[in-house]
């Protein structure tokens, strides 16, 4: 990891740049796949699955038999762990339910808001080097709580044309209605336009590589909503001398092993801690099965020394990390001061891994600085808020004149007439 001391503020944007390709490098490929899927449907899906995943599929759909066989192969210990995580995630997301909000804004005018589930949703579950069955929990559980009618899960197949047993087991456990063994740009296009096999959905959820992220963004041009721009994983840790260097290193490596385009950053007010963390990274890295992936990610990463917590906080809010760990004796300053982060982990005994799996919070979070404007996935992500109003005769008399004046001032006579006609009838009766 590159060590940087007291970077000048004008250089922050360069130092904090993510190791991602530009959209221009990716967009032409995504557009081509979208156009083909729109024209040729499943035929194009199969073509690109062969091209990108090097596999020929007999069927794009996962059968009930496949799910049953996969579930048998998942160990009882892991099933219990998944059940524990499911319970905590369900508990946290169920607590986010809100009641109908109703208010009489003026005598005779009642307004209220109710939430309704999004009927058709698509869940993208990354496969590749690490099939993320934990993401199934994070997306399918709140979808089920929200009451979504159609929950379509898509995940890239392995070389044998299969989805990981753990993903299939977790999907059926969480109420997924259909499973498609297709990934990448092509399945995002399939969910956008619909094919003979892949249902068209109203909103697409789930993280993925840079190609998937751009594909999701392109889907919005065709009227399909997305949860957020969520690309390669990232983590920033703020730590001082009160932190445990070995713990900090383990957290940094936990995100570095996600993929070669992941990024991890340590910001610290202690030079000695930075030195100790650097040594720990070297020691722990050698023991990792995914050492090669983590090494490439570490090459994209930084160890940054700053003089004060105030500077550190400003730099962190500028970076807007997906995951943010606080290991500082001044933790309250960071808790109160952080405004741009996806999910925050506080103290030496709160590893980021807890949020990835089983604490209860959702791990589907915005990356690439989008935390400045986007929230992570939550129960509301799967619902729409609909407003209602009911006005009595007295109510219309109370607000009618204000509506007439405003409509007339905007030159919208029909708007005024819609009120005036009613008021005239009320007066005559």
Annotation: binding site for Zn(2+): 255, 258, 356, 415
Token digits of residue 322:
């997906």
CA atoms within 13 A on the CB side of 42: 13
Burial class (CB within 10 angstroms; exposed 0-12, middle 13-18, buried 19+) of 194: middle
Are 153 and 178 contacting, i.e. CB atoms less than 8 angstroms apart? yes
Query: What gap in Å lies between CA 164 and CA 184, rounded to an integer?
Result: 16
Query: What gap in Å lies between CA 418 and CA 413, rounded to an integer?
Result: 9
Alpha helices per DSSP H over 160-285: 165-173, 184-193, 210-219, 245-256, 271-285
H or E stretch covering 145: helix 133-146
Exposure string (b/e) for 82-91, b if CB count within 10 Å is 16 or more?
A: beebbebbbe
Q: How far is CA 255 from CA 220, 234, 262, 322, in A?
A: 29, 7, 7, 11
Annotated binding site for substrate: 233, 255, 258, 323, 356, 410, 415
Report DSSP letters for 21-67, one per residue: --HHHHHHHHHHHHHHHHHHTHHHHHHHHHHHH----S-SBPPHHHH
Enumerate the active-site residues: 322-323
Query: What gap in Å lies between CA 211 and CA 11, rounded to an integer?
Result: 28
CA atoms within 13 A on the CB side of 105: 15
Q: How far is CA 253 from CA 3, 176, 195, 287, in A?
A: 16, 32, 40, 11
Going through 310-360 in order, the beta strands assigned E by DSSP cover 323-327, 343-346
Query: What gap in Å lies between CA 77 and CA 71, rounded to an integer?
Result: 13
Annotated binding site: 124, 186, 209, 233, 255, 258, 323, 356, 410, 415
Are 50 and 327 contacting, i.e. CB atoms less than 8 angstroms apart? no
Token digits of residue 270:
């202690």
Closest CA to 398 of 153, 2, 105, 179: 105
């Amino acid at each position: 990891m590159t060590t940087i001391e007291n970077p000048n503020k004008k250089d922050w944007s360069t130092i904090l740049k993510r190791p991602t390709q530009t959209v221009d490098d990716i967009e032409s490929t995504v557009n081509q796949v979208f156009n083909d899927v729109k024209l040729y449907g499943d035929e194009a899906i199969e073509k690109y699955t062969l091209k990108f995943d090097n596999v020929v599929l007999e069927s794009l759909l996962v059968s009930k038999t496949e799910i049953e066989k996969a579930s048998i192969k998942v160990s009882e210990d892991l099933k219990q762990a998944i059940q524990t995580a499911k319970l905590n995630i369900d508990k946290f997301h169920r607590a986010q339910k809100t009641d109908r909000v109703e208010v009489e804004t003026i005598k005779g005018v009642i307004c209220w808001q109710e939430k309704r589930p999004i009927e058709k949703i698509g869940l993208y579950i990354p496969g590749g080097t690490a099939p993320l069955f934990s993401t199934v929990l994070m997306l399918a559980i709140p979808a089920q709580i929200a009451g979504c009618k159609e929950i379509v899960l898509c995940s890239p197949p392995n070389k044998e044309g299969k989805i990981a047993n753990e993903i299939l087991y977790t999907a059926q456990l969480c109420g997924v209605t259909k499973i498609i063994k297709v990934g990448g740009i092509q399945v995002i296009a399939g969910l956008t336009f619909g094919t003979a096999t892949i249902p068209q959905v109203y909103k697409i959820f789930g993280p993925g590589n840079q190609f998937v992220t751009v594909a999701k963004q392109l889907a919005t041009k065709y009227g399909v909503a997305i949860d957020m721009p969520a690309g390669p994983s990232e983590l920033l840790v703020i730590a001082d001398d009160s932190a445990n260097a070995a713990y900090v290193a383990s957290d940094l490596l936990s995100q570095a092993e996600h993929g070669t385009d992941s990024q991890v950053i340590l910001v610290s007010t202690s030079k000695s801690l930075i030195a100790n963390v650097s040594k720990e990274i070297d020691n722990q890295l050698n023991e990792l099965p995914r050492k090669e992936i983590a090494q490439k990610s570490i090459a994209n990463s930084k160890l940054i020394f700053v003089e004060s917590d105030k500077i550190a906080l400003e730099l962190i809010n500028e970076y807007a990390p997906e995951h943010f760990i606080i290991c500082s004796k001044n933790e309250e300053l960071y808790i109160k001061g952080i405004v741009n982060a996806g999910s925050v982990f506080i103290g030496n005994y709160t590893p980021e891994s807890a949020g990835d799996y089983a604490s209860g919070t959702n791990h589907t979070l915005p990356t690439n600085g989008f935390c400045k404007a986007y929230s992570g996935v939550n129960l509301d992500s799967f619902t729409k808020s609909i407003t209602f109003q009911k006005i009595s005769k007295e109510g219309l008399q109370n607000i009618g004149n204000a509506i007439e004046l405003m409509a007339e001032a905007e030159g919208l006579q029909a708007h005024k007439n819609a009120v005036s006609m009613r008021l005239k009838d009320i007066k005559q009766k």
